[in-house]
Every structure is written in structure tokens, then in C-alpha cells.
Amino acid sequence: MTAYIVRRLIHLIPTFLGATFLAFLIIQLAPGDFVTRLELDPSYNHQQIENLRRLFGLDQPFTVQYAKWLSGFMKGYLGVSLSYQTDVWQVLKPRLLNSLVLVSLSIIFIYVVSIPIGVYSALRQYSLADRVLTTLAFFGLAIPNFFFALLMLYFALWLKDVFGHEIFPIGGMRSLYIDGVDFFSAPKWRQWLDILWHAILPVIVSGTSGTAGLTRVMRTQMLETKMQDFVRTARAKGLSERVVVYKHILRNAIIPIVASIGFLLPELFGGAGLVEVVMGWPGLTPMMLEALFSIDVYIIMGSIGVSVILLMIGNLLSDLLLAWVDPRIRYS
């Protein structure tokens, strides 16, 4: 087991190097660098600009810049953002945490909603409720989440017009004031409550397609497991239907669902990204977009480096989880 984990971790190194190098290469394709736009700024003279170039290593070949970045990354230093005039990690950390709040709440939402629905659908296959839920799942898979996010905003605005005050917040992640007190001086639990209230609509939106997908998988899994011989044996033994369903069918059907967390992660990262942009949630993706427009190389590289590591760990965890819940799978 330990050997397997170590081998997997070692295997991740070339992937990480390749992925970050590819990203670095792509950013180099942009015309000019992030000092270029200062050339038009009259408050900088030629000498200062040259100094800045040297300071950020922009006069070096790009492989050197990459090696420098990598060496810094190993030491936990992500470089300096020119737009924010500060350490990249200072900019990145709050954004990353915000995104993680959204993503982890979405994962909880997905599992809490889709497993019961999938089980219910499978137990009452071809019933009216099953048909309705399956159709809804199809709709949920088809609706683009940025469109859905806009619809939700429209809905929130409509509620506001009808009731005269905000039932759901219209975008953003926190209120300016809580009960007349500035957000940051309010009690901690009120702050969290406020963030949760703001997260309701974004979580529903970014969780929808995952929920729809997982419901379908859960339903198919249940239907397949229902036909297995051991279920017939269990029934023949005279076990109650409740025991058969929950102890025999569900436990076996849920295995791939549990392990799919790792595969949900990349999709959620991407999906939540567009939702963040539309709903004004201050996460990674809006920051990436800003950084792209100003070619703030180290902000982009920092967020890609960190998210690549998060994804790889997520995949590893889900493989381990799968091996743990399903003894039939051997490490190879």
C-alpha cells in the first residue's frame, strides 16, 4: 500500500512538470510581456522598464524563467504579481479558499441530492416519478451553467422585485454590512452564515450537472446490482426488503459513486469557474481572467500550478478510496 502510494506520487512529478511547462509555453505565445504596457506609461522611463525586465528575469530565455519559477515553487514562493504589486500567494490564497468553499459545498450538494434520487428512481423504475426525474436529469446535463447562473440571477432579481427585499443575494460572496455592522467586524458565525446564504444559488448552479450525471450513474448501478445473484440469494434467505435494498444492493452499488469524487473535481473546477464569473463570486477564475488581460504571468502560473496539484491529489485520493471500498481492485 505504502509502496503503491509512493510510486503514484513519484509518477505525478513528470506530469506536474509537463503541465506547468506547457502552461508557461502557452503564456509565452502572447505578444509582449507584462512590462510592455508600462512602456506607454509616461511615469516610467526606459531605464526603469529595463530594470523591471531584469528584475523579473524577462530578458532571460523563457526556459530560464520557467526554471526560476519552478525553483521558487519548490521553495513555496510563487513570484510577484505586477498588477497587485505584491506576493502572488497573498493574492492567490483568498481566491483559492473562496473557490474551494464553492467546490466543496457543491460536492456535498451533489452527493446529498443525487444518491437518494438515484436510489428512488431505480427502486421504482419506469414509474411516473422515475420518468420525471430522468427527464429532469437530462435537462440538468444539457443546461449550460453560465446560462443557468444568469437564470438564477434573473430569478433572484424577480424575487427582489416581488417581495421588496433580497430573498437570495444578487451575486457576490458577502454582504457589505450585517445588521448595520461592517462585515469584517461582525461575529464569525454571522460571517459564515452570510457566506452560506450567498453560496446557495452558486452551489445549486455549479452542482446541477454533476447531480444530474451522478443520479444517472447511481440509477444504473442500482439497476445492475438489483439483478445480481447475491440479491436473489438474500431474498431467498427471507431477508426483509429493507435489509436487501440497503445492506445488499445499495452498499455494492454505491462503490463507484464514492470513488468518483476525484473525477468530479476537475469538472467542478471548470464548472464553478464560469459560475464565479457570472455570479461575481471572487474565486480563482475571475482572477485568472483579469491576470490574462494584463499578462500577469506569475498569477496565472501560480493558480495553474496550485490547481494542477489539487487535481492530482484529488485523483490519487479517489483511486485510493476506490481501492479501499472495493477490495476486488488491486494496486497495480
Partner 1 sequence: MPADEKNIDLLEGVAEHSLSHWQKAWIRFKRHPFARWAGTVLIFLYLMAIFADFVGPYPEAKSFRKYQFMQPTAIHFKTEDGRWTRPYVCKVERKRNLKTFKLEFNEDCSQHYPIYFIVHGYPYKLFGLIPADIHLFGGPWVTEEKAHIFLWGTDDFGRDLFSRIWFGGRISLSIGIFAVIIALFLGITLGGISGYFAGEKMHLIRGFLHWPSRAEIAEKGAAAFRGMFANSALARGWRNAVYEGQTLWYLLSLPLQYAFWGLAIWILAITMKGFLAVSSGFELAFAMVLFGAALAYMFWAAIFGEVAIDVDDIIMRTTEILAAIPGLFLLIILSGILAKYDLPSSTRFMMVLSILAFVSWGGLARNIRGFILQLREMEYAQAAKALGAGNWRILFRHLLPGVMGYLIVVVSLSLPGYILAESGLSFLGLGIQDPSSSWGLLLSKAQQGGMSALRQRPWLLFFPGFFIFVSILAYNYLGDALRDALDPRAEH
* Residue 191: burial class (beta carbons within 10 Å; 0-12, 13-18, 19+): middle
Smallest distance from partner 1 to CB 37, Å: 11
User: Measured from the CB atom, is 254 or 268 closer to partner 1?
Assistant: 268
Task: Tell me phi and psi for residue 272, to 5 degrees.
Answer: -65, -30
Chain residues 110-169 in contact with partner 1, contact rule CB under 8 A: 138-139, 141-144, 146-147, 150-151, 153-154, 157-158, 161
User: Measured from the CB atom, is 138 or 246 closer to partner 1?
Assistant: 138
How big is the chain by its Cα radius of gyration, in Å? 25
Distance, CA of 48 to chain centre: 40
User: Measured from the CB atom, is 256 or 266 closer to partner 1?
Assistant: 266
- Of 181, 289, 329, 331, the one binding partner 1 by CB under 8 A: 289
CA distance 328 to 200: 39
User: Measured from the CB atom, is 82 or 304 closer to partner 1?
Assistant: 304
Chain residues 241-280 in contact with partner 1, contact rule CB under 8 A: 266-267, 269-271, 273-274, 277-278, 280
User: Measured from the CB atom, is 99 or 245 closer to partner 1?
Assistant: 99
> Which pairing describes strands 86-87 and 80-81: parallel, antiparallel, or unpaired?
antiparallel
Torsion of CA 242, 247, 249, 251, to 10 degrees: 140
User: Measured from the CB atom, is 244 or 300 closer to partner 1?
Assistant: 300
- Of 14, 164, 238, 327, the one binding partner 1 by CB under 8 A: 14
- Of 96, 122, 249, 300, the one binding partner 1 by CB under 8 A: 300
CB within 8 Å of 106: residues ≥ 6 apart:
203, 206, 207, 210, 268, 272
What are the residues facing 80 on neighbouring strands? 87
Task: Pick the piece of the chain touching partner 1 (CB under 8 A) from 44-52, 64-72, 182-190, 218-226.
Answer: 64-72
- Of 98, 208, 303, 318, the one binding partner 1 by CB under 8 A: 303
CA distance 91 to 303: 10
User: Measured from the CB atom, is 9 or 289 closer to partner 1?
Assistant: 289
Chain residues 17-36 in contact with partner 1, contact rule CB under 8 A: 18-19, 22-23, 26-27, 29-32
User: Measured from the CB atom, is 16 or 84 closer to partner 1?
Assistant: 16
CA distance 214 to 222: 12
Smallest distance from partner 1 to CB 66, Å: 8
List contacts with partner 1 (CB under 8 A). Answer: 14-16, 18-19, 22-23, 26-27, 29-32, 57, 60-61, 63-64, 67-68, 71, 138-139, 141-144, 146-147, 150-151, 153-154, 157-158, 161, 170-171, 266-267, 269-271, 273-274, 277-278, 280, 285, 288-289, 292-293, 295, 300, 303-304, 307-308, 311-312
